[in-house]
Structure 1
């Protein structure tokens, strides 16, 4: 619970600073409700989403919980508890609840402990609705991102895919992105996006990159955690039995040095 303490302190501070709803007793009604909902805070480092999985599926930036599908669980994590995948199970989170909109400059990072069974799976997917098909549309890769794994002999290869509005770009690091599920410990997966470029890292080391004309989020209304479902399963990227911890999203592209600092901080 200690890793969430700063978020509880932040929330308490914000509540203390809110103006009293009874400050204008001369009003009819005598309340001072805000006209618009107050957006959740963005971290000083640009963090717009943080899910620690400490016995909860709550995002500590928005204080909104992800919706479980099936029966995902918890296990010992990199820090505290972690998301533990299960068959036909995953989480979904509405993009509308992020502390800031998705943009051209983004970072997605998380700790990952691979389970090679099944031999392929979706890990983090933000895919678009397709006109006339909705959730039934499969593998529409013209927008959003897909982080997933596939077998490479006895290894599991971690890959990513990014949509640019009309097509998609692949980030396949080959053997540099291979993890042995028989001996795997926690590793840190990072996808960074900036205008014209996508970079993929494992443990802070760049394993793949792709030059993109642009990055598109058109039609992307939800994030799936622990599966490619419901929109990226045509090639068998279903639920993942692996462990995921400390899932963070930033509204900027972290540098390799910043990723290393984040890894070091989480490893303390």
Structure 2
């Protein structure tokens, strides 16, 4: 219902010349599956990770492994942006412990795109974790994105921030995505918002999106940050930071962090950079 898988459509030159229309012959057996492009007509790639949150923790994507809550309790579901949504509470988080093949895929992520719908209750003052790829050997995470309204006096506005640490030939470069007021999103508390980032390893550029449109971008390490490759992946964490749930080593960082409290829906991780048109199409799917 929620995620539409797109299949490549291959037509030969002869077929293109001989057919005046590409519509499906309803009498064809078996029927031919044309890609559903949605109202925008823009095709989306297959995700590495997709969590629809429809009354279960079923993963629809390439990654596989054990998906559960941090405490082991049954997850709570509420009305979502599309169907149901996962409700995170203080002290709780969702964790994916990937299998061997999925761990290998995450270690060589390269470029990526992360998107989700959130309905934040706005009570967190410190950094509230949204999406992280954990690593037990470093303080924060391989990749971590979070909300923070601790340095604003307006409860309904939040700063979207992030951290990345890769394993490269020249060591372990790390960088914060902290664009200040450029990454401040207004009127976030209590409403559904589509948020996410794309990271282009070729240009070392990270771009923040909100409700289908680009908000700001930053070039990391003067364009020399490069591909996201990791020496360890302990799991994917939603609603907290890895060190809060046993997937990281940063005890000091944990003291400064908050659990995200609010709903989360339609969570995607891609191992490539979505174009602006594709980001808009992803937003329009559940708008």
Measured against the shorter chain, the TM-score band is 0.7 to 0.9
Q: In structure 2, the residue corresponding to 1:47 is in which secondary structure? A: coil
Aligned-pair CA distance for 1:101: 0.9
User: 1:156 & 1:206 partners in 2: Cα distance?
Assistant: 13
Aligned-pair CA distance for 1:205: 1.5
User: 1:211 & 1:89 partners in 2: Cα distance?
Assistant: 32
Cα RMSD between the aligned structures? 2.7
Aligned-pair CA distance for 1:184: 4.4
Change (3 A) 1:177 1:243: farther
> What residue in structure 2 maps to residue 21 of structure 1?
none
| Deviation string, structure 1 residues 187-228 (Cα, Å, up to 9, x no partner) | 111221222232222222232323242223221230111111
Return the match for 1:245 from 265, 269, 287: 265
User: 1:48 & 1:248 partners in 2: Cα distance?
Assistant: 8
> What residue in structure 2 maps to residue 58 of structure 1?
58
Return the match for 2:82 from 59, 74, 79: 79
Aligned-pair CA distance for 1:183: 5.0
User: 2:215 & 2:164 partners in 1: Cα distance?
Assistant: 16
> What residue in structure 2 maps to residue 16 of structure 1?
none
Q: Is the 8 A contact 1:227 1:240 kept in 2?
A: yes
> What residue in structure 2 maps to residue 223 of structure 1?
236
Q: Is the 8 A contact 1:160 1:172 kept in 2?
A: yes
Return the match for 1:192 from 185, 193, 198: 198
> What residue in structure 1 maps to residue 136 of structure 2?
129
TM-score (norm 2): 0.68
| Deviation string, structure 1 residues 4-54 (Cα, Å, up to 9, x no partner) | 6879xxxxxxxxxxxxxxxxxxxxxxxxxxxxxxxxxxx971312110100
User: 1:265 & 1:174 partners in 2: Cα distance?
Assistant: 30
> What residue in structure 1 maps to residue 176 of structure 2?
170
Change (3 A) 1:47 1:207: same
User: 1:187 & 1:44 partners in 2: Cα distance?
Assistant: 20
User: 1:113 & 1:201 partners in 2: Cα distance?
Assistant: 16
User: 2:214 & 2:47 partners in 1: Cα distance?
Assistant: 21
Q: Is the 8 A contact 2:119 2:189 kept in 1?
A: no
Task: Show structure 2 runs of 5+ residues with no match.
Answer: 7-42
Aligned-pair CA distance for 1:246: 0.2
> What residue in structure 2 maps to residue 49 of structure 1?
49
Aligned-pair CA distance for 1:242: 1.8
Change (3 A) 1:145 1:260: same
Aligned residues: 222
User: 1:243 & 1:193 partners in 2: Cα distance?
Assistant: 25
Decide which moves more: 152-161 or 219-228.
152-161
Aligned-pair CA distance for 1:245: 0.6
> What residue in structure 2 maps to residue 117 of structure 1?
123
Change (3 A) 1:162 1:182: closer
Decide which moves more: 168-177 or 93-102.
93-102
Q: Is the 8 A contact 2:64 2:98 kept in 1?
A: no
Q: Is the 8 A contact 1:172 1:208 kept in 2?
A: no
> What residue in structure 2 maps to residue 104 of structure 1?
110
Q: Is the 8 A contact 1:116 1:181 kept in 2?
A: no
Aligned-pair CA distance for 1:147: 0.6
